[in-house]
Chain A
């Protein structure tokens, strides 16, 4: 066996580390751990920033580290380190054992690691296939030049980042997995100004596992979109606050479902007792027009993965089917503490975080209506074409900034408005999503939560919410 031929006192990427990993796991089990998990990563990242007509920042970075998690009963101890030697890893195991104050003599069985599942075999060439800094710089500069469409555009920015993460995951249930993940993202931003008027526009695009994607990115179309958005909003009035029906656009409009409802379907929220949906499985929590999905398998999507950070292949989880709650998003700790089966959703930003139940590609499924059907059904309301960021409070209240909004009057889009914020609670808003369009599209984003910032996709078709609080002036 290869593993017995190569003996090493340090984790070496690209080699078989089975003997060393087994030794570390045996060590933890021998000290009384119920479960031992080792997550090791090696990263190679770079980012480029173009401002106006110049490259103003090129930032490469690289690093490696390990996160070791020990379970005893439902408690877990997590230690992270940059020391990937046998001594360093064993010291981390000892530290985790000591933190958990494990003293009993009960020993779990560890039968060694299973056959290596290597998801990285076809991905090792990626590092040579991604665009060079020179290529990235040239395209970003062309992109920022494309944004210079009139003299009202006072700031133009283009940014690119590439994260290449090589991981090894091994645990005492026999899991032994390697993978390489590639994420690329590119964004354009402008600020427009005319006398006292100011507006901004931005768009971000992203992919996973597609080394050629940046080359295929249609920068001209993106630049036109950002420019138009900023011009439309430049002279917009502030929206009047109040309760009204809204139509949320597809793509990044899905951020509201992600933030307001998706997070409440993560088992970490059940563990904390902070989700109103804890005891609602198989009950109606949304309008019957709503079916919502979380999955990690759409090819190239920003939240897709071959295997999660606990070594499980991601599944397609139908969270809500025709308004009925069907499933929670679960990781190993979630399964242990709440009983909900793992869904391949154990995710973390990097080795310094323990994995937690996190969303991947999360979207509301398409319905049967056209966008026009939704708008025509409203006599007075708001069309949210582009959403900014948002957040959800500890009691489930959410709020989201509307980056680009238009008033709806008598079934037609009219004047642009700015300063709108959507405010509500998932439990109250979900039953008010009464119409779903037939134009489902996804958009990339970053989600920050208990296990750090992870790449996700949000999405939806155009949807109509019958009534929601719109904050304004």
Chain B
């Protein structure tokens, strides 16, 4: 069945079961991936997946939900029946409705349709990439984590009031993580990830070069002394921190009491006036963009921090109704609708007079720690408390020299971090999770082994 036929099937089954109000979200995908090990194919993988999530409103307007991979006629009927049973336990305190924007026009990025290149081509490309990476430096002994994949999928949202949205797209990803070894030294590892709409769009050479350069740059390493340091966050690491604490802008988290913000936090000063942060799922550089969320609300650009102050929260239908505003296109369909950001864009505002512009990661010759990548986010972030303690990959810049830091963590508080931003560099960089310039923060604690 295609998505139109599924919608008709659900409608018929709902009529049969006397269910007047329903909606559903579905995704259908075909994925292909390869991994290699020293020139040999290691695992080749293909999958065909279908997931259907159906919500049903009962006569008391309580919502029940069921998820299934069985999209046969009987599977759909069973899902509706189970959702109906679950609706007896629907949340009486917070009602859910269709998004008022579920029929609004959506903006779909014009992207040329890609066709699968096939497993054999993926394998050939990845083998070549592995060889080139191994040959790029004598200390690179293996590429233990590698993969090239392509995915073709369709997302659908429809409801019993006639809303119907469907969106098809493709995406490919290449990751290369190299391991370098030198005598009497610990192994060092780093890598690179590149995305594209199709396998042919991925910049393979730059992925190889980046993985090689990053790995080699960590060969000469040293422990760092535990102390407070001037920090330069790479665009990737700053976006990691912002995403980890995005509950500050999340209306669902605020209602649930797990956010540092509250309903009255709009306008609260969080940072230097030089900082602007947007969520922009439709950004032209966002390869993972989708034009609507799990409730069918169109995706849009939303300012989260304007000149250092909270400007907006992200919403689902129900949180928007509670906050007396409109949904923002950030909902994930579920029994309890989740809310999450799409793609963060960090910018320097025009109110940037208080920044220390001499702090530039490529020219500054004073002592500082450059944080390239933050790790173990799930373990080291306490979003509801605002604190973090995270291991990182990075370098200590001192006396004009750069040395990789071995086994260290950076710890602090997100509000302290935002308030202590001392420079936002001008040039932004595109990453897989958003866009940001390098961000400088004064006086964060680093724990090292030295």
Given known contacts A56-B91, A78-B43, A469 and B447 CB-to-CB distance under 8 angstroms: yes
Query: Is B120 on the interface with A (CB-CB < 8 A)?
Result: yes
Q: In the bound complex, do residue B66 and residue A60 qualify as a contact, i.e. CB atoms below 8 Å apart?
A: yes
Known: A62-B70, A63-B68. A389 touches B378 (CB 8 A): yes
Q: Does A465 contact B (CB under 8 A)?
A: no
User: Which residues of B37-52 have CB atoms within 8 Å of chain A's CB atoms?
Assistant: 37, 40-50
Interface stretch of the complex, out of B352-360, B384-392, B428-436: B384-392
Question: Contacting chain A: which of B100-108, B183-191, B263-271?
Answer: B183-191
CB atoms of A81 and B391 under 8 A apart: no
The verdict on A424 contacting B407 (CB below 8 Å), with A80-B49, A390-B376 known, is yes
Cβ contacts A78-95/B at 8 Å (1 or 0 each): 111111000000000001
Q: Contact string, B367-389, partner A, CB cutoff 8 A, digits 1/0? A: 00000000110111010111101
Closest approach, in angstroms, between the C-beta of B247 and any C-beta of chain A? 12
Q: Does B420 have its Cβ within 8 Å of any Cβ on chain A?
A: no
Known contacts A390-B376, A397-B391, A471-B409: does B66 contact A200 (CB below 8 Å)?
Answer: no
Contacts of B47 in A (CB 8 A): 79-81, 352
State the CA gap A470–B407 with chains docked (Å).
11
List the B residue with the shortest CB-CB distance to A240. B226
Task: Check B335 for interface membership: any CB of A closer than 8 A.
Answer: yes
Q: Is the CB of A274 within 8 A of B82?
A: no
CA–CA, A49 to B94, complex, Å?
Answer: 14
Q: Tell whether, in the assembled complex, residue A423 and residue B93 are in contact, meaning their CB atoms are under 8 Å apart.
A: no
Say what secondary structure dominates the interface of chain A: strand
Give the number of residues in A that approach B within 8 Å (Cβ atoms): 74
Q: How far is the CA of A390 from the CA of B391 in the complex (A)?
A: 10
**Chain A residues within 8 Å of B42, by CB:** 75-76, 271
- Per-residue 0/1 for A88-123: is the Cβ within 8 Å of any B Cβ (1 yes, 0 no)? 000000011011110000000000000000000000
Cβ contacts under 8 Å, A191 to chain B: 257-258, 384
Q: Find chain B residues with CB under 8 A from A83 CB.
A: 48
Q: Is A170 an interface residue (CB 8 A)?
A: no
B145 contacts the other chain (CB 8 A) = yes
Say yes or no: A423 contacts B391, CB within 8 Å. yes
A437-450 vs B, CB cutoff 8 Å, 1 = contact: the mask equals 00000000000000
> Are B179 and A77 in contact (CB-based, < 8 A)?
no
User: A312 at interface (Cβ–Cβ under 8 A)?
Assistant: no
What 1/0 flags go to A131-157 for Cβ under 8 Å of B?
001100100000000000000001100
> Is A95 a contact partner of B378 (Cβ separation < 8 A)?
no
Does A77 contact B45, Cβ atoms closer than 8 Å? yes
- Interchain CA distance A79-B40 in the complex, whole Å: 19
Please give, as numbers and ranges, the residues of chain A lying within 8 Å of B177 by CB-CB distance: 394
Are B144 and A394 closer than 8 Å at their CB atoms? yes
Residues on B with beta carbons closer than 8 Å to the beta carbon of A472:
389, 411, 445, 447
The answer to whether B375 touches A79 (Cβ under 8 A) is no
The answer to whether B256 has its CB under 8 Å from any CB of chain A is yes
Expressed in whole angstroms, the minimum distance between the Cβ of B325 and any Cβ of chain A is 21
Closest CB in chain A relative to B344 CB, distance in Å = 22
Contacts A198-B384, A243-B449: A399 and B40 contacting too (C-beta < 8 A)? no
Task: Give chain A nearest CB distance to B259 CB in angstroms.
Answer: 10
Asked whether, in the complex, the Cβ of A55 is within 8 Å of the Cβ of B91, the reply is yes
Tell me whether A99 and B119 are in contact (CB under 8 A): yes
Given contacts A76-B43, A80-B48, A99-B44, contact A62 B82 (CB under 8 A): yes
Q: Tell me the smallest distance from the CB of B355 to a CB of chain A, in Å.
A: 26
Q: Does B336 contact A (CB under 8 A)?
A: yes
* Distance between Cα atoms of A470 and B83 in the complex (Å): 48
Q: How far is the CA of A61 from the CA of B43 in the complex (A)?
A: 30
Contact with A423, one of B335, B385, B407 (Cβ below 8 angstroms): B407
Tally chain B residues at the interface, Cβ within 8 Å: 73
Q: Is the CB of B189 within 8 A of A394?
A: yes
Cβ B67 vs Cβ A59 within 8 A: yes
A61–B335 alpha-carbon span in the complex (Å): 11
How far apart are B206's CB and chain A's nearest CB, in angstroms? 21
Residue B289 is within 8 A (CB to CB) of chain A in the complex: no
The CA-CA distance from A75 to B36 in the complex, in Å, is 10
Residue of A nearest to B386 (CB): A198
Whether A75 lies near B44 (C-beta < 8 A) is: yes
A428 smallest CB distance to B (angstroms): 10
Interface-located stretch among A12-20, A284-292, A413-421: A413-421
Q: A399 and B379 in contact (CB under 8 A), knowing A63-B70, A198-B385?
A: yes
Q: Is the CB of B389 within 8 A of A61?
A: no
C-alpha spacing A301/B328, complex, angstroms: 44
Task: Known A-B contacts: A271-B37, A472-B411. Give 18 more (CB < 8 A).
Answer: A48-B89, A75-B44, A76-B43, A79-B46, A80-B45, A81-B48, A83-B48, A98-B119, A191-B258, A272-B144, A354-B45, A388-B379, A394-B189, A395-B189, A399-B379, A421-B391, A421-B411, A423-B409
- Interfacial residues, chain A to chain B (CB-CB below 8 A): 48-49, 51, 54-65, 74-83, 95-96, 98-101, 133-134, 137, 154-155, 191, 198-200, 238, 241-243, 271-274, 352, 354, 388-391, 393-397, 399-401, 418-421, 423-425, 469-473
The 16 listed contacts between A and B (C-beta, < 8 Å) are: A58-B86, A59-B67, A60-B66, A60-B82, A77-B45, A78-B43, A155-B384, A198-B384, A200-B384, A389-B379, A390-B376, A390-B379, A394-B145, A394-B177, A399-B376, A471-B408
Partner-A contacts on B (CB < 8 A): 37, 40-50, 64-71, 78-79, 82-83, 85-86, 89-94, 119-120, 141-142, 144-145, 177, 179, 186-189, 226, 256-258, 334-336, 375-376, 378-380, 382, 384-387, 389-391, 407-409, 411-412, 445, 447-449
**Would you list the 8 A-B pairs with minimal beta carbon distance, nearest first?**
A63-B69, A471-B409, A241-B447, A389-B379, A471-B447, A272-B144, A61-B67, A394-B189
